[in-house]
Chains A and B, each alone.
Chain A
Amino acid sequence: MTQDAASSPARNRFVKTSLVVRKEFAEQLAKAVFFLMSVAMVAPLLAIVAYLVWRAWPVLSWNFVVDVPRRGMTDGGIWPAFIGTLYLVGISLAVSAPTGVLAAVYLNEYAKENWLNRIVNLAVINLAGVPSIVHALFGLGAFVYAARFGYSILSASLTLAIMTLPVIIASTREALAAVPASFREACWNVGATRWQTIRAVVLPNSISGILTGVILQVSRAAGETAPIMFTGAVFFKAVEKGQLLPYRLDEQCMALSMHLYTVATQVPNVKESIPYATAVVLLGTVLAVNAAAIALRVWLRNHKKW
């Protein structure tokens, strides 16, 4: 075929040679594989959500969220656990997000590339890999006993903060490092200080990545059981239905992740759909936070000036 094409005088340059055919086949194949993989990613997620919702359906209602557990936790709702999770996640992120982001800005934008920086970097990466149960034990020793915060929301939130901090630092650094060096150089060339550069160019261009990193830690903090079980979460706490601020910071609280464990394994004769409904609320809360973050990112992108 190649011979034909070469010998014919009015040769069509765009004839499909065997090489082109092979390349096209490889292209199609790669596309199909990648498509399948992405579908394979989505399918389990949909399956999980569908299964949970189906099992939870009988009790799933707004009332389930705002009601308190009744009849020895075999009936009723999850309000104390829901609000407790909001407390824990909110306070822990209020501590770890600013600390982590600022630390990352320092490490990436100011700190000189030297041995101290490398050690800090190594520490951050290793801390991010410490299992949550170890953080739990640390929180117990550091906050509950040493700092004398007792078993409390404060101790539990700080433990979660310690747990999420290194990951936030690592992800923020990655987001900052993704901003091209040429942008910074252009700013420095015209006599801008590091802070002016960071404010005008670096942060606006990394804010999406930074937010993504922080938001992922929301789900992590909301889902962990061990760190809060050791430091400030309890099985049951009497709270009024729908009460907005039921806890003081030095009290213990209930939390969704732990409540799920309790109703699924510890309490006999629980209404069958209650654990599933609890899981759905936990998942829904995390997804709602993610959606809010996406909305914030879109808003920031459309209002580059901030």
Chain B
Amino acid sequence: MSRDDVRKKIEVEDLRLAYGSQEIIHSISFDVRENEILGIIGPAQSGKTSLLRCLNRTIDFCARARVSGSVRVDGEDVRQMKDVFALRRKIGMVAPLPVGLPLSIYDNVAFAPRSAGLTRKVELNAIVERCLRQAALWDEVKDRLDSLGTALSGGQQQRLTIARALSHQPEVLCLDEFSIAIDPVTTMRIEDVLKTLRREITIILVTNLNQQARRLADRTMFLWGGRIVEIDTTEVVFSDNPANPQTYDYVRGVFG
């Protein structure tokens, strides 16, 4: 498959990120293709979360962060965008720690559409149900949509976070270690949902579970110390002879 016949959803070029004087991401370039699942693996502190924060520009809220280089979403540089809120709706983000907002379960999911200006009850109801179903949470909470989102269990809150990220119909979904707080059975259910979602949206999956990347990702990127060690199809990355021997060691857990 030649590189040009797939549309590029996100193009990252020469991206550098520093917190204060400490550079965390050192000039990385890669792209994310439309409707693929891109797995990102790498040890702790390698800058995976920080990288995601550059994509939807929530890095702006960190006053000490300095970003250079370019991130283009659908060809448009995110740092030139006027409507950063539209960008954030385009890129759904699931944070590693579950955050149920101190609102009702319903409002947790309806928050984003409401912020975007949607007020019609019927539409909101439909969105809430669809997203909670996709996040494999609907059956557990459908009778108590009024109770507080913070009162759910950790795993349920994580799925609520996923539902919230889907509620603004993102074109790209970034999942940052989404399965930390979720049991294996539910994780599998969500993974199935992700496989279905791939037909409509692009997914970036940051994970500490190498096998999860292996199961889901079309391509996998190995990030280490703020540099891309390797990015290739998942088959190659997990094969016996990836381009870089470090990759071989890391995916087999004999790293360091």
A interface residues, Cβ below 8 angstroms from B: 112-114, 182-193, 196, 200-201, 204-205, 304
Does B167 belong to the interface (CB within 8 Å)? yes
- Smallest CB separation, B158 vs chain A (Å): 12
26 A–B contacts from the bound complex (CB under 8 Å): A182-B95, A183-B99, A184-B61, A185-B58, A186-B164, A188-B58, A189-B56, A189-B58, A190-B88, A190-B93, A190-B165, A191-B85, A191-B89, A191-B112, A191-B168, A192-B85, A192-B111, A200-B101, A200-B111, A201-B101, A201-B102, A204-B102, A205-B102, A304-B102, A304-B103, A304-B104
Contact B61 A193 (CB under 8 A): no
- How far, in Å, is B7 (CB) from chain A's closest CB? 23
A182 to B176, alpha carbons, bound, how many Å? 14
Q: Which residues from B are CB-within-8-Å of A201? A: 101-103
Shortest 4 CB-CB distances between A and B: which pairs? A190-B112, A191-B88, A191-B89, A189-B93
Say yes or no: B103 contacts A190, CB within 8 Å.
no
- Is B161 close to A, CB under 8 A? yes
- Is B193 an interface position by the 8 A CB rule? no
CB distance from A72 to the nearest CB of B (A): 59
A114 cross-chain contacts in B, Cβ below 8 A: 63
**Minimal beta-carbon separation of A110 from chain B (angstroms):** 11
On chain B, the number of residues with a Cβ less than 8 Å from chain A's Cβ atoms is: 29
Taking CB atoms, residues of chain A closer than 8 Å to B148 are: 304
Contact A191 B161 (CB under 8 A): no
What separation, in Å, do the CA atoms of A190 and B99 have in the docked complex? 13
Contacts of B112 in A (CB 8 A): 190-192
What 1/0 mask marks residues of chain B from 155 to 182 whose CB sits below 8 Å from any chain A CB?
Answer: 0000001001101100000000000000
- B67-94: CB near A (< 8 Å → 1, else 0) gives 0000000000000000001111100110
The answer to whether B115 has its CB under 8 Å from any CB of chain A is: yes
List, in ascending order, chain B residues with CB within 8 A of A189's CB: 56, 58, 88, 92-93, 95, 165
Q: B103 contacts A200, CB within 8 Å?
A: yes
Query: What CA separation (Å) do A220 and B102 show in the bound complex?
Result: 33
Residues of A within 8 A of B161 (CB): 186
Known: A185-B61, A186-B161. A193 touches B85 (CB 8 A): yes
Q: Is the CB of B115 within 8 A of A191?
A: yes
Known: A190-B164, A193-B115. A185 touches B95 (CB 8 A): yes
